[in-house]
Structure 1
Amino acid sequence: MNLTHLIAGPAEHGVTEYARLLAENTGGRVGEPGEHPVHVTFTDHLFGPTPDEAVDVLLSRLAGRRFSVSFHDVPQEGEGAERFARRADAYQRLAAAADLAVTNSRHEATFFDTEVEVIPLPLPTAPSLDIDPEPGTVGVLGFIYPGKGHNVVAEAAGDLRVRALGGFSAGHEDMDLPGVEVTGYLSEEDLWAEMARIAVPVCPHLHVSASGSMMRWLAAGRRVLVADSTYAREVAGLFPDQVRLVTDWAADIAAAAADPDFSRTVELPVTWGWPEVATRWQELWAETFAAEFRGNVLADTPADTPSVSVVIPHYNNPEMLTRVVRGLEAQTFDGPLEVIVADDGSAELPRVDTPLPLQVVSQEDRGFRAAAARNLGAAHASNDVLVFLDADTVPEPDFIRAAVSRVARDPACVVVGTRLQEDGEPQWLIDAWQRTRDLTLADDTSWRFIISSVLALPRELFTSVGGFDESMVGYGGEDWELGWRLWNAGAKFRHVPEAVATHLEPEWAQRGGGAEEKNVESVALAHRITHPLARPDGVVFADQDVAVELPDGTPEPVLASWLAAGDVRVLSPRPELFSADPRVGPGSARLTLTLSRPLLAPADLPEVAARIHALGGAAQLVVDGEVVGSARGRRVSTDTPALVHVDLSPWTGPERLERWFAGW
């Protein structure tokens, strides 16, 4: 996953701990900013002596890189007017500079002028606790600092014993807390143990907007008294049996201490731990940093003007072909340019008078073989860049110059131009360019926008993937199939609006193309493109989209679960029960999973696969905090695998197959 986590502060600080756990649960690298987008977990005092200096220091370290930020300790008006104003300006400035800003609560999100996302704090994973509260104890959890509410609780508790589970925040070691027993810093194990001794957990901080302390109490299944606030009501909506809103501390603490049920644990109503939080972060990163994560960022290095070979497939239409060549003669491109006409078995080879270097190559007429014709023309090309035009598609004067300018800078670049019809560009393409920002945000579905009549790419790249699929005979689809293989080989897609060509003939549908012809194309693509968009459910193909390698000795029901999970191939093992199933055994797939344990397939396998592709094509699979396998796609754009949390479980059914078969 192409992301760097920039972490500041001491390890025991709650915000630093969040940053560390986020990195440990999502993947990426930890360190100083490099070439990839950066994620920062931010509270002002961890980065500088004043809020403004903290933001200045951070932006200087980021040095113009794209970044996301998780805001903590968001300014609250209850801090006091001067402090609030000072911190508010700094936080607003950082949020405006970020590509993605996230808070831990809806309450915090309302503070910002810019749009922010909300990811609630996770419930930590609580160990098995022997809850044995000491009667009359009241516990406040976390760092000690002014405004945390320890004095309020001590005054309200009367004769009850108030314990502060934690140490003093830096700079506040001299705070006077009469009536409060301070434990000092506690290890993780000791902290959970001390929490189990408390009869009345409390969160008295009046200005809290996201509380890790509250999440710990809730994760332990404890009821907790919380100062009434917008944020507290937000959490109470999720945990109504656990969060008790307080308006009168003395009365509510006394009532809780006298109620034996208050200290008993309850079952958590929701699952929201680090796996869920990590997955949500990855979704937002994959959306925000789509080009970087998918390896679709073009190099921007200066390049010499390349030499260009224009390949034009042709069949029995010399007048149209002449108009296309005249368009090439008018190009503003000033580099070497040659034209190869690839004739698909015309009754008579075309002759075009032109000052451009032009050759005609031909193949016999064996049906509509545009793919083979284009390959034939490319095989006779001698220049660096291939440009494909159709014999009825006339380029505007700037077409070649605009198209190849991107290709010249990056040997992995594939450019699609703008193909105009009589009434303009088709709406489905206009929508695609807008949605993908001219293919800057291309993904593994963007092969649908590769159009061979306005296409430019390096000749070496075209050759490396084997060119067009010559087995495709008949109208349409060969350009989408090529786009599919190019993307999986690591190509970078771009639409260049200025590279304009005009399609002189009507669109396929206007020329009388019907469902039967289109269905032939769809079937041909389904056999070649494994993406779910190209295939129906329930049909077995020679190649699958996902392959899984399971350890020897895997029970047959586990294999069956994977085969039922989608378009899946099981590479190994191959038990006798599956000897006739063509999906079991050696083969290829777009994504390969390798498991170290025999685990059942997840119910959402297609979504898991899509997430892995979006995060860069390489992942470690995590179940309950343990890595149980790996995943690797054909297109891998990262050196650092993402950590993907998946719902995999062992087979717990009968060992005897007859019982599995019959369901008894």
Structure 2
Amino acid sequence: MSGPVPAPSAPGSAGLPALVVTDDPQHGVSTYARRVAEAVAALVGRDLAVGPDALTGTAPPARSHLHFTDRLWGGSPEEAADRVEDLARRTSLTVTLHDLPQPSDGERNLPRRAECYRRVVEAAAGVVCNSRHEALLLDEHVLAGAGARAAVLPLAVDPVGPAPAPGQRPRPDGTAAVIGFFYPGKGHAELVDAVVELRAAGSALRVAALGRASTGHEAELAELVAGAASRGVSLEVTGYLDDDELLERCRRAAVPVAAHRHVSASGSIATWIAAGRRPLVPDTRYSREMAELRPGTLTLVDPDDLVTALAAALADPASTWLGPSAVTAPGLADVAAASVRWWADEVAW
């Protein structure tokens, strides 16, 4: 399996693809695509970003790269695959895959999503995964051998300025917080269950969802809020937060949490680290890979004993902040350089 790709020796924009940035400014994949495109522009001295419509116009670029998750490219997995296959007939296409299919998708959705991603992989001239774990998911559930051929470029983390020094940290707001879109399985329900147990033992901890419901899951989120309240737990849902608002809430949270057991690559974890926090993360194949990549940035916890981990974090607030030896790289500049190298030297356009 490919590892992270080294930086190019001589940056330049000749032969590089147009970088497709999708239109949903509140979607993490769109935001990440835009930030990588900006980092590539800073490296090569040319803005290569385009919208999706540029690929369907009268003169589409010869080469293009897009970030793919099925929910961003169509109303169904089938529609998303149709759309990418159409684009691949118009432009030579490379793809960064997000949200890889896995068993937690369920009996009905796993085969549909796996077939969607298989079609995307087969239409593409090259594929990037954001972790070795995702490359393994590609092999295990989408197309045998595809993961071994994929480049692995970890999600970038760029700290948002220096983390506050111990004496300058904001007063904790009393919440255990989760970042990003709500959908079943993201970990919100498990966090509520754990906080119910802690409150029964005398804790005043509350739960905060820093984000909004994923489209189609609004009713389920409302049910979770009502259910939490009936059990004596306040579950605050902030709705969409801009970058400054999100940073402020990340730094005020009493306990940063990324409770998703089935995550394949996590923008939420990256956001916590960028804010200077060391989140509680279930011990999984993916989280172990990220803990090895970025020593000192995660606290791995038993997925079945979140209560103990929350209690330990409340007893030792310093453990929820990055220490001076924590390693946050690779950052956006690293990912941009690795991408340029990959497009120039490894993709068979």
Q: TM-score, normalised by structure 2?
A: 0.78
Alignment of 1:45-84 (within 5 A): 45-84=71-110
| Paired residues for 1:107-506 under 5 Å | 107-112=133-138, 113=144, 114=146, 115-130=149-164, 131-134=169-172, 136-157=174-195, 158-159=198-199, 160-174=205-219, 175=221, 176=223, 177=225, 178=228, 179-247=234-302, 248-267=305-324, 268-288=326-346
Q: Give the residue type in structure 2 aligned to 1:142.
A: G
Question: Which secondary structure does the structure 1 equivalent of 2:256 belong to?
Answer: strand
User: Is the CA contact 2:159–2:276 (under 8 Å) kept in the aligned structure 1?
Assistant: no
Q: 1:142 to 1:124 in 2, by over 3 A?
A: farther
Separation in 1 of the partners of 2:37 and 2:215?
A: 25
- For 1:46-105, what per-residue CA distance to the aligned partner results, in whole angstroms no more than 9, with x for missing partners? 111221221111211332521110000111112212211110111122112211100100
Contact 1:37-1:289 within 8 A present in 2 as well = no
Q: Which of 40, 53, 73 is the matching residue for 2:66?
A: 40
- Checking the alignment, whether the CA contact within 8 Å between 2:182 and 2:214 is kept in structure 1 is yes
Q: Percent identical across equivalent pairs?
A: 40
**Contact residue 85 and residue 119 of structure 2 kept, 8 A:** no
Which of 20, 23, 26 aligns to 2:34? It is 20
Deviations for 1:250-298, whole angstroms, at most 9, x for unmatched residues?
A: 11111111113223431332531100010001000111458x7xxxxxx
1:85 has 2:140 as partner = no
Cα shift at 1:129: 4.9
Q: Which residue of 2 aligns with 1:7?
A: 21
**Rounded Cα–Cα distance in structure 2 between residues aligned with 1:4 and 1:269:** 31
1:285 maps to amino acid: W
Q: CA deviation at 1:135?
A: 6.0
Q: Is the 8 A contact 1:225 1:244 kept in 2?
A: yes
Deviation of 1:153 after TM superposition, in Å, equals: 0.3
Q: Are 1:79 and 1:207, in contact at CA under 8 Å, matched by a contact in 2?
A: no
* Structure number having the greater helix percentage: 2
- Aligned-residue offset at 1:133: 4.0
Cα distance, 1:166–1:29 mapped onto 2, change above 3 Å? closer
The alignment covers a number of residue pairs equal to 291
Query: Cα deviations across residues 329-377 of structure 1 (Å, max 9, x unaligned)?
Result: xxxxxxxxxxxxxxxxxxxxxxxxxxxxxxxxxxxxxxxxxxxxxxxxx
Alpha carbon RMSD of aligned pairs, Å? 1.8
3-state DSSP of counterpart to 1:140: strand
SS in 2 for 1:111: helix
The one-letter code sitting in structure 1 at the alignment partner of 2:276 is G
Contact 1:220 1:265 in 2 (8 A): no
Q: Deviations over 1:418-468 (max 9, x none)?
A: xxxxxxxxxxxxxxxxxxxxxxxxxxxxxxxxxxxxxxxxxxxxxxxxxxx
Q: Provide the residue aligned with 1:30 in structure 2.
A: 50
Q: Which has the higher strand share?
A: 1
* Unmatched segments (≥5 aa) in structure 1: 293-664
Q: In 2, Cα distance between the equivalents of 1:12 and 1:192?
A: 15
User: Which residue of 1 is the match for residue 126 of structure 2?
Assistant: 100
CA distance in 2, matches of 1:207, 1:227: 9
Tell me how far 1:249 sits from its aligned partner.
Answer: 0.8
CA contact (8 A) 1:136 1:257 kept: no
1:164 is paired with a residue of what secondary structure?
Answer: strand
Distance apart, 1:224 and its partner CA: 1.1
Q: Residues of 2 paired with 1:167 and 1:4: CA distance?
A: 31
Q: With a CA cutoff of 8 Å and minimum separation of 6, indicate the structure with the bigger relative contact order.
A: 2
Amino acid at match of 1:280: A
CA distance in 1, matches of 2:49, 2:311: 49
Question: How much has 1:124 moved relative to structure 2?
Answer: 2.9
Distance 1:271 1:236 in 2: 12
Higher Rg of the two aligned structures: 1
Q: Could you tell me whether the CA contact under 8 Å between 2:172 and 2:253 is conserved in 1?
A: yes
